[in-house]
Each structure stands twice: as C-alpha cells, then as structure tokens.
Chains A and B, each alone.
Chain A
Amino acid sequence: MKCTNYFVAQPSVTSLSCDKNRTHTRKLAYAKDLFLGKVNKEEVFPYPEVSNEELEEINQFVSPVEKFFNEDVDSKRIDHEAKIPDETMNGLKELGLFGIQVPEEYGGLGLTNTMYARLGEIISLDGSIAVTLAAHQAIGLKGILIAGNEEQKAKYLPKLATGEHVAAFCLTEPGSGSDAASIQTRATLTEDGKHYLINGSKIWISNGGLADIFTVFARTEVVDKDGQKKDKISAFIVERAFGGITSGKPEDKLGIRGSNTCEVVFDNTKVPVENVIGEVGGGFKVAMNILNSGRFSMGSAGAGMIKKLIGLTAEYAGTRKQFNKSLSEFGMVQEKFAVMALNAFVMESMAYLTAGMMDRPGVPDCSLEAAMVKVFSSEGGWVCVSEALQVLGGLGYTKNYPYERYLRDCRILLIFEGTNEILRMYIALTGMQYAGKILTGKIKEMKKGNLGVMLNVWGKMLRNSLGSKVDLGLTGKDGVVHPSLTDSAKMFEENVHFFGTTVERLLYRYGKTIVDEQLVLKRVADVLINLYAMTAVLSRASRSISIGLRNHDHEVLLANTFCSEAYFKNNFWMNQLQKNAPENNDDGIKKIAKDVLAQRSYICSHPLDRTY
C-alpha cells in the first residue's frame, strides 16, 4: 500500500485516493510541536524516500541539465556582461527549466518538490540563472499556479512553462518592503466595470525587463461586510501587451549580475477583471502564500554550490605545497573543509526532509520548515563560500577564480525572499502563537496560584534538576534513530525538552508582548532552526546506515559532530533565554544601539583625542 509508506514522496496525481485519509493527520506540522517540547517523530522518521521509478526519472532530468550547465553556461561571461546570453536562455527553455513545477497538463515538467530541489542543486551553480528561474517560477507564476482559476491557468501556464513568456513578481515598492499598508500602486475599476486601471511603480523586480507576464499587487477599493469602503490589496495578472508598462534601467548589483532587476512602472495599464488572482481584496493571502512556498528550494541550492566548491578547493589544497607539506595537512585548513562538509550535509538533509514533507499528500503547511531551511542555508552558504575563498588566500580574491563571484552571488540569499531577520521573526512568532494557544490555560492557572498546576511544574523542575533523563522515544525499544546515533539523539531530546520549558517560561514572562522582544525571538528562532537541523541529520543518517548507503559511516560522523555542536549552542542560547535582560547582555546591546542611533554616528572619541 502506498498510503502506509507515507514518507515516500509521490506524485500528487497518483496519491489522490489517499488524500482524504491523510488530511486530518497532516494538520500537525513538526516544527510547531517542538515549541511544546514534543517530538512528533512520525513526521520526520524515517527520512523521506522516493520510489525507484521517480529516482530514475529524476536522474533522467538531471544528467542533461548537469551537462548543459557544465558545458554551455559561461558564468564568468554572464557575470561580466551582466546578461544571460540568448542561446543560454534558449537552452534552459529547451530543457524545460522554466516550467519545472507546472503540471504536465499545462506543458510543464510537473515535478515534485523533491525533484525540484534536486534540479535546484545544479541550477544554483550559476547564481544569475538560478535567480532568473526562481523569479519566474518560484514566485512569478506561482500566483497563477496556486490561486488562479482554470481559465487563467489554461491561458497563461502553457506559454510560461515553455519559457515563451517570462514571469515576474511585482510586490516591492519604493515605500513598501514588507509593509502592505504602504503599497501605493492602485487599481481602479473603469466605469464599465470590465477593467482595472493600474497605476504605480514597483522596484527591484527580478526579470522586470524580460517579463511578459507580471503578478502585480495593488490597492483596490472593496466594500466590506459593514458596507464601508476599504482599501485592500488585490493580485492581478498583467501582460506586458496590455500597454502602459515601462521597465527602468537594470540595477547594477553586487552579485547575481546576470539576472535582470529593474523598476517597473505601470501607467494606466488596463487589466480585464478576469485577470484578478483569487478574489478582489484577497491579494494579501495570495502574496503570503506565494512568498511562503517559494523558499524551500534554497537549501538544496546552497548545498549544490558548496558541494561544487568543496571539490574545487580540495583540488587546490591537495596540490599546493608549503614547507614541503600540502595545504591539506594543516589543521586550520582541514577545519575549513570540515565546516564546509558539515554545512553541506545539514543543508541537504534539511532541504530534502522539507521537500519530502511538502510532497506528502494533503496540503501540509511547511512554511515554517521552509523558512528555517532558507535561513540556515543562506547563512551557512555565506560562511562556506568565504571559507573556501580563504583556503586559496589571495588567489581566491582575484577574478581568475570563481570564488569571488560565488561570494557575491550568494550574498543575496540572506536578503531576498524575506530577509533572514524577518524570517526569524516569522519562525519564532508562528511557533509562539501555536504554543501560546495551547498553554494559555495552564499559564493562567499558574498565575492565579493554582496549587495543583504549580506543584506539577515544580515537580517537573525538581525531577529535571535531579538529572532524570529525558526520553522522547527516539531511541530504545521503539526507537527510530539508529543506535550509533544514540548519543546525538539523547542530546536532541534533552534540547527539545529544555526548549519546551523555555518557551513556556517565555510565554509566562512576556505573554503577548513577546512580539516586541526581538532579541529573545531571535534566539528562539535560532534554537528552533538548530533543532530542526538536528532532526534532519539524525533522520537522514539513520536511514543511510539502515539501508547501507555508501559512506554512511561518514554521515554518522557528520551527524554526531553537528549534533554535539548544535547541542552546546542551543544550551547556551536557552540559558540566556532563562535570564533577564541585564544578565544576557540584551540591555547592553540595546543601549549601545540607542546611543549610536540617537546621534546617528559612532560617538566614541578618537583614541588619539586629548582633553588637556
């Protein structure tokens, strides 16, 4: 039965029959439960697998793409000329890379998230191409895909899937990044009620100069329930052919220079009412869904890049000799390779675990997991590229080697699709909201001084302080983790338990005002990201040993190393979270920033200054 093997990623079409049974169990997401100190192990163990047929299918896709990227893509030239050559673009179109996730009935490849992630590894070898493709299909046409009606899909998707038309996503405005209230672009209904006139300008639009189809968000006047007129955001499909669209000069960027980013101005662009995505006034939800679903592939992209860099750098470290020793014999160089391997391993594990979860039948909400993958892999990627460059020293800093280009390219990962700071807020607050709903009753009882509840809590604290081992059932008789990872699993369980109590304590202390405690939330998000990463490596390594994959002992080593490192970091952060602001340095940090920002400059006297 396929349904019992729920962890096996299946094409959505074949598993339709199982959907009904799944949906209610699928409601719980794994990461949110961690906030309660629970490990919902059925969700993440065993590690998701794909069937043999699918694997073959993926490999069929992968090899030509890999060949194309190795032979026909000249990243240096793309970077230098700040343009992807037409023949490269045509090659990408021929490979079907413009419609990876568009269903086959609309002429796309109709690949699952897992397969998309696999392709993402290769596509990411050139940042400009990766961003161009992502802007096209991860956000550009996603609106039509997830919220469009049948007619819209039938009309637009086929041409978008082949790459005949390129899509762009127009949300950001000069005065509005993540704040919907400051969107100025306006869509007004014409008198005949058949068209909207869109006016306004959008900035930093990836593919803005190339695109033929735009997903545009604009204010519309909506009459709400009470009969009052209100401004609400609506999403529109806008064709360049509608007229009144001008694209500005492409921005001169630090990295991903080959991708086209520019301002797009809409001047009385006439859009038929049929082109509203979803319902009028429902654009906010559409935008949120697009943004939330567009992120997950970044994990595999980062991993793909690092894996390639490890190869390049190791070659150099093995051949370069100093003092009759090759670089690879020096401890500090070795450490850099270990860091790169660890990061690549963790990113990969997280990305494919998330992709697998998303591919399960039903509509699992994995936006939290996807956000975590994005944060972890963008930051890990930045560190690894920098370390790789460091191994080469001065050579890495020159344009003769690709490292500086990778460094520039991967810097954008920390910024776009929601900056990491904003995503951390999302991660922490979503979890806090979830945990808060469940824990409110208990906390209120405690605040009222309910002895029963308090005794219960004190009893738990006493037991913890006496050193009773936390057992969440990952190891032991019904365990899901391989025995060689027992220690790591124990650390993980301990962390999860501690995290649960920490979250409870935070809710007790801050209540709903925790929204304003960004430094607290940052640590909460960091701990959660580490916990999810630990889960992913434990799950993946367990599977690898169990089925005897090549070099699984190395995976065990990586998993154990990562887990013990993360364990210490988590404990440190959570200990800080138990403390008050003056003790965990938050007060100092805030005060420093306040002083500096009040003067808007660095305010210390120069060390050479004198007073007498």
Chain B
Amino acid sequence: MRCARSLVRIQSLRALTAAAGGTVQPAATRKAPHARSLIAHEPCGQALRSLHTACVLLKNRPVATDYQEKSEREGEAAKSLVTYDDLFERAALEAKTKATFNQVLDVFIKRDIRRRGHVEFIYAALRKMPEFGVERDLEVYNKLLDVFPKEIFVPRNYIQRMFNHYPRQQECGVQVLEQMENYGIMPNVQTKVLLVQIFGEKSHPVRKYQRLLYWFPRFKHANPFPVPHQLPQDPVDLARFSLSRIANDLDARVTVYQLPYTDVCETGEEVTQPYVVGIQSPDQRHLLAKHNPSRPVFVEGPFPLWLRKTCVYYYVLRADPLPPEEKVEEPVDPERCFYYPLQLELDLERDLGDDDSFDVDEVDEGPVFAMCMAGRGDQATLAKWISGLQETNPILGRTATVFRLESGVRELQSAAEPEPEARPGEEEEELQSRGVKQ
C-alpha cells in the first residue's frame, strides 16, 4: 500500500513537472522503479513535502524559462538534458578520456555556485561514463557525487527526516550508487563522507551505500574462476589464457605451435601466418597413446568461449566413445605391489547403506585429447596443430584425422586477417601422407 502511495505521488509529481516545464524528462521515467523503494510518507506530511517538491519544481522551471536571464553564461547548457549531453559530446571531440571527463565535471562545478541543474547533469554524466571509459573508476564516481551541493539536502528536523527529503536528489544519488553496483565498483570512505555531507546520515543513498558495503565484500570472491577485466591484448597470450582456463588442469602444458607473422613472398604478396596455440595434459597424452589407431580422431570446432565481452573460439581433438564391446577392464596384477594386496579376494560387495554414490545417468562422451586456438579456423592451419601434436603423440601419425569444422563463426579472424589465398603445396602433401580424411 505504501509503495502504491509513493508511486502515485511520483506520478503526480511527474505530471506536475510536465505541466510546469513542458519538457518530459526521461530521467524521471527511469527513476520510477526506484521510487518504489523510498520510505512511505504519512499523509500529514503532504503539505511539507509538497513544499519541497515545489522547490524542486522551481529549480526545474528555470531550465525552461529563466534561460534568458542567465544568458551571459553558456546559457543553453542549463536548458535540458540534451544540453548536458552536448557538454560531453563537445569534450568527446577532443578525446574520450578520464581527463576530459573530469574537465567537464570541473567546468560544471565552476560554472554556477548553486549548481543549477546538477541532477540532470549527473544523469547525463552517468550515461556518458562508459563512453569515456571511466565506468569502473571510483575516483570519477566520487567526483560525480561531489557535484551535489553539500548540506542543503540534509534533513534538519525529525519531520524532514521522517519523510522523503528532496526525493529527486536522493534518487539521483541512489542512481549513482546503482551504476557503481552494476559495474562492481566498491564505494570507499570518501564516498560515504560525501553522501553523509550531501544527504545526511540516514538518507536513502547512505542506506544504499551501506547495503553495497554489506553485500559486495561477501560476493567478491564468489566466482572461483574470475575473469580479469583487462584481457591480454596479444592473441597468443589470450589463447594461452583461455586454453588454460578451459582445461583447468594444473599439469596441462600450453604449446605455441606457430607464432603469427606476416611475410612478403617473392611475388610481392603478403602471406600471413596465423597463430596456433594448443594445450594438452599428460593425462590426455596418456589417453591418446592408448587410443586404437584404427579408429579416427576428430578435429571439431569452432566452439565459442566467452570471456566477459570477448568471444574466442577453440577447437578440440577428440574421439568417439569406445563401443561397449571394446571396453576391457584391466585386471589388477596380483604381483604388482610388493607390500600389500591391491585387492581382496572376497565375494562381498559394498553394502547399500554405505553406497554414497548418486544415481547418475552418465552420457558416454568421447575422450578429448587436446584443445587449440588458432588465428584462422581453416583446415590447413589446424593441420599444423595436429602435426605439432604428433611430435609428442606419435600415435597421431598412424591414426586417421577427420576435420569436422563448422563454418560460420569467423568474426574473430575475418576482421583482422584476410583469408589466405593459397595453401602451401607441401602442407597438403603432408596432410595426405598422414591419411587425413576430409
């Protein structure tokens, strides 16, 4: 019920704004859901509150009407959201960096001692932050909060404290914190000092801050496999990182089979060699050594791997699962251990009560022998990987390798590197000699 009431209020507020200013503010629309979280207000506070609302409206109104009076300043800046966006866009022409972003903030702060239109400005700034690449910068957030005028919005008596004092400003403050939350930025003491200075001890932004501080540390290490914000730039390093991430085996060794390089051949054409990076663990090598050479192994891919916003593709070398008739359990050699029997000659099985295993339907999957990432997903490039693997896995020389590559996902390499014109002839020969089926 309380929520409903506050919603109604928000809506009436918006109607008022619309009526007064004539400009519909998208920011207000965005804020509506947050208004729900605001503390309820007693009906008797209506008068007092409307007084504050009036203040806000008054502040808003000049945006449209008092414009001419302030024309000696860079007037149009104060007009609407669009103008603040303008401010940033003009700065963006120069360079989209933290420095220019800060400059814009400084310009705004210095322009008007009363910080007129700061709410709109902050919303605009929040939207522009990712563009300037400062969305993960705590310093910038603090600076942004600093735009709020201090002490004005702090409730001075219990009645103000009881009701939603300066709701738009508080919501705006909450919004700043919300954006920090979305980007996983942990506020610091300075943030708190600012918030307390601006909104007072028990205001909504301060409570939001407290909630952030309660939950963030608890969830900070929830992911056992964190992906760094800064991925390696070099594709080989990125491949190295991604492969060890998928393999998740401390013994697995990454091998760079080919470094990327560009060469100019005699005819003057540029030949680009894509990188080939593979990973294999000793266990996988062992599995592959036991593979029956009369059955083919498959190179499959590309499979996507998402690392935050980057998608990379990898290929696997695998075989079909063993048909049941070929599965032989090796009997334990009784003359294996010098010291104690490795198994008991008893006709007793484990009791059901002590069988802690779960009833799992296991889907039989074929073994994966190795994985790789390459600059190009064509067969010639992947064949280099296989021939590189052959050095440590001689069995591959006797086993047919079938390439089952899906075309289609080529975005990664297509933009950076052009398709090779022709495959070197010797490579093809090599392929054939190894009995590659296509």
Contact = CB atoms under 8 A, between A and B. Distances in A.
On whether the two chains bind one another, the answer is yes
Contact of B349 (A171, A418, A429, A511): A511
A611 B335 contact: no
Contacts of A287: 338
A436 B348 contact: yes
Nearest to B356: A581
Interface stretch (B215-223, B239-247, B418-426): B215-223
Contacts of A180: 333, 335-338
A429 B250 contact: no
Interface stretch (A326-334, A437-445, A458-466, A467-475): A437-445
B340 A430 contact: yes
A171 B337 CA distance: 12
A577 to B, nearest CB: 12
Given A423-B339, A426-B339, A612 B217 contact: yes
Given A181-B333, A433-B344, A612-B216, A291 B339 contact: yes
A600 interface: yes
A508 B216 contact: no
Interface in A247-265: none
A581 B355 CA distance: 11
Contacts of A433: 341, 344-346
Interface in A458-512: 507-512
A482 to B, nearest CB: 37
Contacts of A422: 339-340
Given A510-B354, A580-B354, A232 B348 contact: no
A233 interface: yes
A210 interface: no
Nearest to B345: A433
A514 B344 CA distance: 8
A59 B350 CA distance: 54
A13 interface: no
A291 B338 contact: yes
A509 B343 contact: no
Contacts of A444: 347-348
Given A513-B349, A612-B217, A436 B344 contact: yes
Contacts of A511: 346, 348-351
A418 B335 contact: no
Assign chain A's interface to a size class: 35 or more
A61 interface: no
Contact of A440 (B216, B333, B346): B346
Main secondary structure, interface of B, reads: loop
B322 interface: no
B344 A425 contact: no
Contacts of B350: 509-511, 513
Contacts of B343: 512, 515
B213 interface: yes
Nearest to B351: A509
Nearest to A232: B335
A172 to B, nearest CB: 10
Nearest to A435: B346
Contacts of A443: 348
Contacts of A178: 337-339
A288 B338 contact: yes
A437 B346 contact: yes
Interface string A546-585: 0000000000000000000000000000000000110000
B40 interface: no
A539 B204 CA distance: 81
Interface string A585-612: 0000000000000001000000000011
23 contacts: A180-B335, A284-B335, A284-B338, A291-B339, A418-B339, A422-B339, A423-B339, A426-B339, A430-B341, A432-B344, A433-B341, A433-B345, A437-B345, A437-B346, A444-B347, A447-B351, A511-B349, A512-B347, A512-B348, A515-B344, A581-B356, A611-B218, A612-B186
Given A233-B335, A426-B340, A436-B344, 17 more contacts: A178-B337, A180-B337, A180-B338, A181-B336, A287-B338, A430-B341, A433-B341, A440-B347, A507-B348, A508-B348, A508-B351, A509-B350, A509-B354, A512-B343, A515-B341, A581-B356, A612-B217
Interface of B: 186, 213, 216-218, 220-221, 250, 333, 335-351, 353-354, 356
Interface of A: 171, 178-181, 232-233, 284, 287-288, 291, 418, 422-423, 425-426, 429-430, 432-433, 436-437, 440, 443-444, 447, 507-515, 580-581, 600, 611-612
